[in-house]
Amino acid sequence: MINTTSPSVDRPPEALRPKLPELLAPAGNREKLALAIHYGADALYLGGKSFGLRNRADNFTDDELAEAVDYAHQRRKKVYLTVNWYPSGGDIPELLCFLEKTASIPFDALIAADPGVIDLIRQVTPDRTIHLSTQANSTNWAAARFWQRQGISRINLAREMPLDEIRQVNQLVAMETEIFVHGALCISQSGRCLLSSVMTGRNANKGECTHPCRWNYAIVEASRPGEYFPVEEGERGSFIFNSRDLCLLPYLPEIIATGVTSLKIEGRMKGANYVASVVRVYREALDRYQDDPRRYVCKNEWLEELTKISHRGYTTGFLFGTPRDVGVELDSRYVRSHDFVGMVESVTDDGVATVGVRNRILIGDKLEVIGPRMTASTLTLETMTSQEGLPLSVAHPNSRIKVALPFSVQENDLVRRESTKIL
């Protein structure tokens, strides 16, 4: 079981505590938006059914976008809408229609990359705040200064930028900055990839990436068809293009010291367990840093938590120039140690929780319920019933069960089961 206790500290006066950067989380659908807020995100980024770079995620209809913003604003969270794909000329009328339909929704900002899209946003909603996407490939302070002159409020700096150059941008340019701190890495210039288009006909720069960089590859010599020679052989196969996932958790103090405005988590196509687990870890780390920056340490239990979700081994990317591995997880295939099996939908005063089942649950399963602030409790499931009170030995996906819990839980807490897998 994860240690949920934090060491007591003598907290500095409020005026002396550092201003934390915003924690920006992905919201691939309504459920993940609620989870990101529940586990501590300050802001969410999401997309409509088109014009973002994750069109294969669930995303939101126009009505759902308005409901999502209202839900978040009631909880004092910000919402940013992605319109960061690169349209063809024939896409412009449909894009213009989308911008007009969503003009009345009070997004806190729109995220864009293409200058033409930025111009269309200003035509439709002149006062709209615009953030520049990582797709714009901004790798230096001069580029940031250019975009500042164009009226851009915030710039997402390229993943290729090392720590000292991130600091340099914040010293030389008076605009908000945002960097990715966790999630998938593309083997391309800030995500501007052509592999998917060439190999599958799906345009990554229009939100349809099929992730061919994560497939297995081998070399075939022309005179020996059918004979496959791996470029690099490991115990589990060959991975020519496959990148490890970004994890900058151990270096939050150094990142905060650069003056960056927002820390962004990648993953609108990732599952609910990913969103909940990553957000809760980074929220806890940021809050503990704010409590006492001088005595802050990155706890092993936080890194352990990040190994429980689906990931491909962790790296620091280019934060220090040459990529470094984080911890000992060096596998390039997706691995996870826990399965997400359900979510608490409600709980009665006497501790009976209604759980929405996502993966099969069996009597005898050892379950873990995780909540905000790194709370976690475990139990061996001895009884469960249907909504009608009938005893069950197995619960199937998309059903609801009632479970009497010996510990306190909240709505939107996740239920998971230990189950190491290579994906």
Same domain? 265 vs 120: yes
pLDDT at 14 (0 to 100): 47
H or E segment at 178?
strand 176-183
Domain co-membership, 413 together with 276? no
Which of 333, 355, 375 delimits the end of a domain?
A: 333
The predicted model scores a pTM of 0.83
Instruction: State residue 206's pLDDT score.
Output: 60
Looking at 286, 304, 333, the residue that finishes a domain is 333
Q: Please report whether residue 104 resides in a domain.
A: yes
Which domain range does residue 160 map to?
A: 14-185+243-333
**Structure tokens that stand for 109 in this block:** 């900002």
Per-residue pLDDT at 8: 38
Q: Are 35 and 272 spatial neighbours (Cβ–Cβ below 8 Å)?
A: yes
Q: Looking at 284, 306, 333, which one is the last position of a domain?
A: 333
User: What integer pLDDT is reported at residue 328 of this predicted model?
Assistant: 39
Compute, in degrees rounded to 10, the torsion defined by CA atoms 410, 414, 418, 423: -170
Give average pLDDT by consecutive 10-residue segment, the chain, 423 residues. 36 59 96 96 92 65 95 98 91 94 97 96 97 93 97 95 96 97 79 66 67 71 74 52 83 96 92 94 97 94 89 86 59 66 95 96 95 94 96 96 95 87 52
Give the model's pLDDT for residue 227.
Answer: 74
182 neighbors 248 (Cβ within 8 angstroms):
yes
Q: CA–CA separation, 343 vs 275, rounded Å? A: 13
Q: What's the burial of 210, exposed, middle or buried (CB within 10 Å: 0-12/13-18/19+)? A: middle
Please give the tally of structural domains in the chain. 2
pLDDT at res. 421: 54
User: Which residues, 6+ apart, have CB-to-CB distance to 128 below 8 Å?
Assistant: 107, 109, 110, 121, 122
Q: What CATH number is given to the structural domain containing 343? A: 2.40.30.10
266 contacts 26 by C-beta, under 8 angstroms: yes
Give pLDDT, residue 12: 46
